[in-house]
Amino acid sequence: MLIILLLVVPILGVLWFLNLTTFLKNLKNGKSTHNQNILGAVLTFIFIFALMYCFAGTI
């Protein structure tokens, strides 16, 4: 449980941030942002699932 909280959640946060910056860069340049939209949704789902898994494990 602690490994997920201290390792997986920050890694997901970094990946989400990198995806956001890539999304904004592609949006500014007028390129397609479809891949960043899908990846952002998947990373958000995994991030929330990991947080809820950690919180449920502490009860």
Closest of 11, 16, 8, 5 to residue 39, by C-alpha: 16
Greater confidence, 57 or 18? 18
Q: What is the pLDDT of residue 42?
A: 95
| pTM for the structure as a whole | 0.82
Q: What is the pLDDT of residue 6?
A: 86
How far is the C-alpha of 11 from the C-alpha of 29, rounded, in Å? 27
Q: What is the tens place of the pLDDT at every residue in 11-54?
A: 999 999 999 999 999 999 999 999 999 999 999 999 999 888 88
Q: What is the pLDDT of residue 38?
A: 96
